[in-house]
């Protein structure tokens, strides 16, 4: 069986490396993940350019979006490998595949890492090999209510370090429907589930992570679960340079469940209405293109006439997060 290096070189035949400048990723970090092999380290700049990652809070449509994108012959996205927690051990496929088997997931592009190498390898080596076979490679990750603040910070630091020029798609969903879905799934599994406070905090923290990455990284976009359709995938396909003609078929508006405030305890309704208002304003800003206006730095600017849409949303989420503590 070909060695790791030989398999990687074979993979380059489909998508040869693009001539790029020296990767922004620290060389020492890459060397550690690739076992220090110089050929792989030199080629690793392709991941920074070909990376594609879906980020969202739990129950916001990350899974269906991953499956829709994986429908393309140009895309391969791993499902929740938690790369930002992986130390780069040379047993990635064994751990990843065992995790999905434990979740009773069937084997497909979203839940199975192929056996490319004799033995096993690090996640970075697998993604690097996949980058020779697919135009866009990466993963989807979910931020859960538990430890959402620490997770959001770690995600930002990790992906800024390793995948600065990659593409990121954030998924958002009406917070009322998101809350009911999270709690409904927990009840179905016989668990108590997260509190409404922790779920709403998670919503705000993911929104802040989106704003932070939008302001700092070059390729960050957002989709809204209730309105994903043909036009969404036309825009994404053009942005990513891939064929997504089959992606919209994964969405069925009849399967997107909506809830009413009346289904909730009265004591929760005000804070959830505030979250829904933020969500609608976020949608409006994204759809109008106002998110591009971001020349605003101080959160305590004294003149409200200078506020941008981005800055207003950041201020509101800061206040709302503090109010939920």
Residue 218 sits at the vertex; the CA angle it makes with 215 and 220, to the nearest 5 degrees, is: 75
74 inside domain: yes
Residues 16-30: what's their mean pLDDT? 39
Residue 219, pLDDT > 80, answer yes
142 inside domain: yes
Residue 143, pLDDT > 50, answer yes
Residue 256 sits at the vertex; the CA angle it makes with 255 and 260, to the nearest 5 degrees, is: 125
Q: DSSP H helical segments within 230-308, as ranges?
A: 230-240, 269-288
- Residues 284/172, Cβ–Cβ less than 8 Å: no
User: 291 or 70: which carries more pLDDT confidence?
Assistant: 70
Number of domains in the chain: 1
Assign residue 75 the CATH number of its domain: 3.40.50.300
At residue 289, the pLDDT reads: 75
31 inside domain: yes
Residue 32, pLDDT > 90, answer no
132 inside domain: yes
303 inside domain: no
Residue 158, pLDDT > 50, answer yes
Residue 82 has φ and ψ, to the nearest 5°, of: 50, 55
At residue 35, the pLDDT reads: 55
Q: What is the three-class DSSP state of 78?
A: strand
Residue 112, pLDDT > 90, answer yes
At residue 296, the pLDDT reads: 64
Residue 111 has φ and ψ, to the nearest 5°, of: -140, 10
- Of the candidates 155, 133, 247, the one whose C-alpha atom is nearest the C-alpha of residue 205 is 155
Residues 21-48: what's their mean pLDDT? 53
Residue 165 belongs to domain spanning: 4-259
Residues 218-227: what's their mean pLDDT? 94
204 inside domain: yes
Residue 67, pLDDT > 60, answer yes
Model confidence band, residue 285 (pLDDT cutoffs 50, 70, 90): confident
Share of the chain above pLDDT 90, in %: 62
Q: Specify the residue for token string 């995938």.
A: 233
291 inside domain: no
286 inside domain: no
Could you report the per-residue pLDDT of 163-184, keeping only the tens digit for each?
Answer: 999 999 999 999 999 999 988 7
């Amino acid at each position: 069986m070909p060695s790791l290096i030989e398999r990687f070189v074979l993979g380059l035949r489909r998508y040869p490396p693009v001539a790029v400048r020296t990767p922004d990723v620290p060389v020492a970090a890459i060397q550690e993940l690739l076992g220090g092999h110089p050929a792989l380290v030199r080629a690793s700049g392709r991941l920074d350019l070909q990376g594609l990652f879906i980020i969202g809070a739990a129950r916001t449509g990350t899974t269906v979006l991953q499956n829709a994108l994986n429908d393309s012959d140009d895309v391969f996205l791993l499902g929740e490998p938690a790369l930002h927690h992986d130390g780069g051990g040379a047993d990635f496929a064994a751990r990843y595949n065992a995790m999905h088997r434990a979740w009773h997931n069937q084997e497909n592009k979203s839940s199975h890492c192929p056996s490319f190498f004799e033995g096993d390898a690090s996640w970075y080596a697998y993604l690097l090999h996949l980058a020779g076979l697919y135009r866009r490679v990466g993963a989807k990750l979910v931020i859960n209510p538990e430890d959402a603040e620490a997770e959001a910070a770690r995600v930002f630091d990790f992906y800024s370090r390793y995948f600065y020029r990659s593409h990121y798609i954030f998924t958002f969903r009406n917070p009322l429907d998101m809350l009911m879905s999270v709690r409904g799934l927990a009840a179905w599994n016989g668990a108590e589930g997260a509190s409404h406070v922790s779920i709403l905090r998670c919503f705000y923290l993911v929104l802040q992570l989106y704003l932070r990455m939008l302001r700092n990284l070059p390729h960050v976009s957002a989709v809204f679960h209730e309105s994903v359709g043909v036009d969404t995938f036309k825009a994404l396909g053009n942005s990513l340079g891939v064929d997504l003609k089959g992606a919209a078929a994964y969405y069925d508006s009849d399967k997107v469940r909506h809830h009413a405030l009346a289904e909730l305890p009265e004591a929760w309704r005000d804070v959830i209405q505030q979250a829904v208002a933020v969500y609608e304003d976020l949608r409006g800003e994204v759809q109008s293109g106002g998110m591009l206006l971001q020349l605003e730095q101080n959160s305590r600017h004294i003149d409200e006439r200078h506020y941008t849409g981005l800055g207003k949303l950041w201020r509101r989420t800061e206040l709302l997060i503090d109010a939920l503590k």
